[in-house]
Amino acid sequence: MEIYMLSKKKSIVLIVLLGCLVMGFIDAVIRPGYLMKSFIKITLFSAIPIIYSKYNKDLNLISLFKVDSKKEIFISIFSGILIFTIIFGAYLGIGKFFDFSNVVSSLSKNAGVTINNFIFVAVYISFINSLLEEFFFRGFAFLKLKEVTSRKFSYIFSSLAFALYHVAMMIGWFDIGLFLLTILGLFIGGLIFNYFNEKYKNIYVTWLIHMFANFAINYIGFILFRI
């Protein structure tokens, strides 16, 4: 039994690390068009965990989407509005101390995001990408990992993977100070999201919160792109 549990833990960890490394290589080196990159990410972050769950019949991924009460929805919407306010407020408050001039050029050069497709990208990031990342990092890499290993390891691994995954895509966006601050913010955000996942035993609540966080980031993007 112990050997099986260890094997399952290693399998989940390896799948998460592989997904992050492949996407990091694609973001930093290959740099395909945004549509192709999104297709690859959907395959890595959803199809592979689902295929693995077919192999391990006791890995119930459907339970990640179960909502027990309307209270969860109200909490997630309230928390989402709060997160939106914090992120946009932070931009207004500290924006003058950091240089955001490289963000637009880096997005266009490295990620294929331009003024022409930014609205499409913003919609995709807000609704689909947020769900994809919650499923992969919070559902698969936290809730399901926590079933076969320690709570502490699951919290740290999931949050660290979530933060470091974003490194490749943000290369060249900011100066080193803001870059490190952003990575720290992503790690802390991952810990907070994991708390909600653990409390409500699903990813629905954090998906809505993540969605509102992306609303704020995309709104800042509209400002930077001068749309």
Query: What number is the average pLDDT over the span 126-149?
Result: 95
Residue among 96, 63, 100 at smallest CA distance from 182: 100
> What are the sequence ranges of the domains in the chain?
2-56+71-224
Q: In whole numbers, what is the pLDDT of the chain averaged over residues?
A: 86
Q: 100 in helix, strand or coil?
A: coil
CA distance 90 to 219: 13
pLDDT of residue 10: 92
What would the DSSP string read from start to end of 116-157? TTHHHHHHIIIIIIHHHHIIIIIIIIIIIHHTTS-HHHHHHH
Q: What is the pLDDT of residue 104?
A: 67
Taking each helix axis from N to C end, the angle separating 176-200 and 204-224, rounded to the nearest 10 degrees, works out to 150
Predicted local distance difference test score (pLDDT) of residue 3: 45
What's the whole-model pTM score?
Answer: 0.88
Q: Residue 209 in contact with residue 154, Cβ under 8 Å?
A: no
In the predicted structure, residue 173 carries a pLDDT above the cut 70: no
3-40 residue pLDDT tens: 455 588 999 999 999 999 999 999 888 888 888 989 99
183 pLDDT more than 50: yes
- Statement: residue 182 has pLDDT above 60: yes
What CA dihedral angle connects 145, 146, 151 and 153, to 10 degrees?
A: -10
